[in-house]
Each structure stands twice: as C-alpha cells, then as structure tokens.
Amino acid sequence: MHVSDVLARVGGKWSILVIGTLGQGPLRFSELKRAVQGVSQRMLTLTLRGLERDGLIARTVTPSIPPRVDYALTDLGRSLLEPVAALGQWAIVHRAAVERARRLFDAQVPGAVQTP
C-alpha cells in the first residue's frame, strides 16, 4: 500500500464529512445520511465500507427487528479528527478566495470548464 492509497481514502470529500460527523458520536446509517447532506445512499454505503476496511470506523450490528446498525470512529479514526477539522476550517476561511480564483481563471481561459 502506498501513501497515495491512504490519502485517497481519508482525503475524499465524503470520507472527510463522515469522519467529521462521526466525531460527535456513533450514528445509524439513516442518521448519517441526513447529517451528510448531498450524499447518495450508494455513495454513503461505499464510503462507510471503505472506512471500515481501513480500520477508521467500526460497524456494530445489534440483533433486533429490524437489525440496528451503528457506525462509530475507531481510535485510528479519532486520530483524524484534528486534521479533518483543520482542513474544514481552512475551507471555511478561504472559500471566497478560491471562488474568486475560479472566476478569474474561467474568465481568462477560453473554453474553461466551470465547476461549482
């Protein structure tokens, strides 16, 4: 495994949002889906599966009807909370500057693909 593999997992948009959300405590799938706005059910499932595979979250199934499934950060996952929070804070502080840079770039480069 290369460092790029780890960065691809922990640096993904949905991974960062899920880790940050679970930093507040364990949640069920439906609670996570509501908390992580814009994520599809399929993308959340894939993200959770990948984070579990990498040891960043734990999935606990409680036998009941229907079965209750909770997701929580592991110790390894909790070790990401500080860097994830720092990245989120950076994005909040610099969002306007990034938006200005995009508009300037798009105006100067003919045929530039404008991204949201």
48-73 pLDDT, tens digit each: 999 999 999 999 998 988 888 999 99
The highest-level CATH class for domain 3-108 is mainly alpha
Alpha-carbon distance of 83 to 71, in angstroms, equals: 20
Taking the domains of the chain in order of start, what are their residue ranges? Answer: 3-108
Query: In whole angstroms, what is the distance from residue 111 CA to residue 74 CA?
Result: 45
Determine what percent of the chain is predicted with pLDDT higher than 70.
95
Taking the model in full, what pTM does it have?
0.81
